[in-house]
Structure 1
């Protein structure tokens, strides 16, 4: 699912983890025989109603969800894996960290191959160890679109119809930036065109054929022209004063929704849940347009079962049920998280779904079309940390602390040290 890179998980932190006291989230059986399963997630996976249904169908199971910030969650998971205790019965893992966790496959329960045929091939393989062990069930994929505020566009004299908006920047990100410059000329006071450079970069690089790694796990950030092109476009947008200079998933970013601080946001399917959670006052004012240049992916998540849990078989059963086709379909229509099971894409309840929060935008059509175009990008073991490093470099430019050239040079050096 969702998916902002905040602070790297360093080898030092992992080594130190064994000295830490585990937080003890694993639950035992109660005096009445009830088994408590702890599910550790980041953000809103849309499972609240599903938990209630599962508990009704399984009276001996009690589910407790623990939600932490993106960075805190993945850092804690790494810490608990290294310490040998403290992890939940089920752990959510973002696509940016699945390769890192896959390399620690011996610490997770093997979920088997029974469901392989259900999944997008690349999604299944992303959580598969070299020796064929499946460590996690895919929950969702990102896809890409642009979510925008119709009311802010109208105040700035810009087109608001989603087809017209899509057409305005269909050919590429340079047209998106051009549209933003026009918006900025008459934008409502305090409203930037987009939320922040790091988020914009994530969407652009999500369309690249090669991202941060070659398939032999060599980091290619400094030499990959597609990374440089995404960087240059993001810098161009920043230097055109189109950014609200907000860091994704920060409290300031959350507040930015309520304060109307930006009119557009790069919008993988899971972003719709974040918008709904943080922008309740703007229901019906949001809409969804096609992403510039078409295609691409940003984010998507997995559910894994650490071996250290006390109720591994029960946790495996719950993880399988939460990610089953029926549940993935329900989560999409209730929250917007796009299923990673392609057989759902042509079902009427998915393909024809329109979301009233987003002005009845045909989000089913938009995101399933994006998913069908999606060409997976190889993700290496430090992809999440690299994303953080690039985000931080763009923040330095936004805050006026470094020139684009100096920030690029520092970023390439910082990324290079992640490989050591």
Structure 2
């Protein structure tokens, strides 16, 4: 589930070596500090809603000696705190969530995490499994979900603006690409309800566009190519065009203002990887049934996805490994998808009727199972280098400066390129 590039640039110089994939004996067996037969509490540190609440209750019922405490933080705060705790040798959770934008950084210091082994390799999408492998072949984390891409939109706001509302018609209107999406937005803006922009913010739009590129911020040899990659510049130009057409609500993803924007109907569309459906449901309960899901302009692409890792500094390593393996097992990934929307990273689930045929009442009975599993099958992964998460935050901040009128696009691009070059040193 990664997710948003929040408010500060985070320097995370740590990686992960993770834990063995075999589901170990029931909790109460050997832990990281020796045997323990009494009740224990396992801390799970995450960013955002991974959809685990009901799973925790089930696990605690089946393992009466285990209590699970989930602690959540904002995206950048979480990864910054994880880096600090790993460097200090204490303070990390028994299980830590890691976004795809930071997994490359984490695997560079894999000795700070428990090796999870290779037992479950066949369960995963090949690229998802390899993204969390260290150079010497240690698996640092279990994949939880992948992103995929769609566009979630408000049918009621479209109707008030005189726009088509049927998902097939909407998909067809911008199927040709992001230029068509922007043109659709300009039409929406002409008769939009008061206070409603076409999309939420430039940073989120850029993430979706660059998520379709064959090459993003890095070449395969770990060279940063932001300044020279034409696909980055194209995504930038399209986003700037949309901002300058007054289509943006100028909101920063996962900020409190962004959360409030759902309740206040401040935007009609949002770039929507599968995990975004959870955020929409959390923040937009009053609009259940008014949201719908259309195909993404241009087709394909990926944004986000997450992992669970077990730091070596934990006090209950064996029990943490057991829980991490259980939470990410295919059965649990399927349950999270049908309850929350996070798309599994275990492809054997994609053709199961309960997954591929799943429809969401919240999203006007949209066939989200078919939409996102099809996208996942077509997904061509983009290489993520060590500072991908930080770079994406830096680009987001540059687009915010344009939205706030603090810099021209050329000025902000120039500063952004300099900031990225300093990050890459």
Same fold flag (TM > 0.5): yes
d(CA) in 2 for partners of 1:289, 1:31: 51
Question: What does residue 4 of structure 1 align with?
Answer: 4
d(CA) in 2 for partners of 1:160, 1:331: 28
Question: What does residue 94 of structure 2 align with?
Answer: 89
Label 1:361 to 1:175 Cα distance change in 2 as closer, same or farther (>3 A): same
Unaligned runs of at least 5 residues, structure 1 = 15-25
Question: How far is 1:2 from its partner?
Answer: 3.0
Question: How far is 1:242 from its partner?
Answer: 0.2
d(CA) in 1 for partners of 2:82, 2:95: 11
Q: Does 1:257 align with 2:262?
A: yes
8 Å CA contact 1:200–1:266 kept in 2: the answer is yes
Is the partner of 1:257 in helix, strand or coil? helix
Label 1:170 to 1:308 Cα distance change in 2 as closer, same or farther (>3 A): same
Post-superposition Cα deviations, 1:70-112, rounded to whole Å, max 9, x if no partner, equal 1111110000000000000000000000000011111000000
8 Å CA contact 1:108–1:135 kept in 2: the answer is yes
8 Å CA contact 1:94–1:301 kept in 2: the answer is yes
Question: How far is 1:396 from its partner?
Answer: 0.5
d(CA) in 2 for partners of 1:220, 1:228: 11
Label 1:334 to 1:381 Cα distance change in 2 as closer, same or farther (>3 A): same
Question: How far is 1:9 from its partner?
Answer: 2.1
Post-superposition Cα deviations, 1:128-147, rounded to whole Å, max 9, x if no partner, equal 00000000000000000000
d(CA) in 2 for partners of 1:58, 1:364: 31
Picking from 347, 353, 359, the partner of 1:342 is 347
The alignment's TM-score, normalised by the length of structure 1, stands at 0.95
8 Å CA contact 1:2–1:43 kept in 2: the answer is no
Post-superposition Cα deviations, 1:286-312, rounded to whole Å, max 9, x if no partner, equal 000000000000000000000000111
The alignment's TM-score, normalised by the length of structure 2, stands at 0.94
Picking from 171, 189, 198, the partner of 1:193 is 198
8 Å CA contact 2:51–2:339 kept in 1: the answer is yes
Question: How far is 1:58 from its partner?
Answer: 1.1
Q: Does 1:145 align with 2:146?
A: no
8 Å CA contact 2:12–2:80 kept in 1: the answer is no
Question: How far is 1:251 from its partner?
Answer: 0.3
Hey, which bits of structure 1, 4+ residues long, moved more than 6 A? 11-14, 26-32
d(CA) in 2 for partners of 1:135, 1:11: 16
Question: What does residue 229 of structure 1 align with?
Answer: 234
Picking from 335, 355, 375, the partner of 1:370 is 375
d(CA) in 2 for partners of 1:12, 1:35: 31
Question: What does residue 21 of structure 1 align with?
Answer: none
CA RMSD in angstroms, aligned pairs only: 1.8
8 Å CA contact 1:27–1:38 kept in 2: the answer is no
d(CA) in 2 for partners of 1:194, 1:27: 47
Is the partner of 2:289 in helix, strand or coil? coil
Unaligned runs of at least 5 residues, structure 2 = 16-30
Question: What does residue 359 of structure 1 align with?
Answer: 364
Question: What does residue 402 of structure 2 align with?
Answer: 397
Question: What does residue 109 of structure 1 align with?
Answer: 114
